[in-house]
Amino acid sequence: MDHLKELLKQGATLVDVRKPEEFAAGHAPVAVNIPLDTLDEELLKWNKEHTFIIVCHTGTRSRIACKVLLNAGFTAVYDGGIWENFK
């Protein structure tokens, strides 16, 4: 987990893929909310070489989101698991 926190310090983006109401109920201060069901639309706006750390509530949606990003050609994608790891 420390290596992911170091990546954040170096400019990685922490992406929380939970639903907006889940995000509103609590999230890591530096996270941006891109719900998993809108991820495909958002991909077009992102630099595929930027570093992304993906989180959610239990780790399931973050794993799925990482696969989606990697399959779309993103090169630096990390599964951060649960968002509470980044409080």
Cα–Cα distance measured from residue 66 to residue 76, given in angstroms and rounded to the nearest whole number: 10
Catalytic annotation present for 56: yes
> Which of 56, 65, 66, 69 is an active site residue?
56
**Residues that are catalytic:** 56
